[in-house]
Structure 1
């Protein structure tokens, strides 16, 4: 009893008919999921943070804490 010969002719084209559309669907859904679950909430969080952010107040707080070497705290 011998084994049947494997079909080699047209094997790549036959496999690509299944794997190529599947690869596009998986990559598109991954990109969409990343955009909806990570990118959009991150954009909203940054927009919300900078809506009420006062850079001068933050700078003065860091200056008073002594974080900067080139800026002295305000003498009172």
Structure 2
């Protein structure tokens, strides 16, 4: 008599239903992480490199390293 009061547990397609929920959850979490990385790390890094190379003079940098004695094949002047 008490068994009629309790509902029967869902045994069929239980794994498929839970996997669908977790698959969608994992997809949206990974999409959010990718967007955070792109806008939080990659874009600021691209802007920093662009700003650095906008005023970069490689010959001036070479002469400074040459004067410091960094290169063995180019003696300091």
TM-score of the alignment, normalized to the shorter chain, above 0.5 = yes
Q: Which residue of 2 aligns with 1:52?
A: 55
Question: Aligned pairs, how many?
Answer: 70
Q: Which residue of 2 aligns with 1:3?
A: none
Q: TM-score w.r.t. structure 1 length?
A: 0.83
Q: TM-score w.r.t. structure 2 length?
A: 0.82
**What is the root-mean-square deviation of aligned Cα atoms in Å?**
1.6
Residue 8 of structure 1: how far off its partner (Å)? 4.6
Superposition misfits of 4+ residues, deviation over 4 angstroms: none
User: Runs of 5+ in structure 1 lacking a partner?
Assistant: 1-5
Q: Which residue of 2 aligns with 1:64?
A: 67
User: Runs of 5+ in structure 2 lacking a partner?
Assistant: 1-8
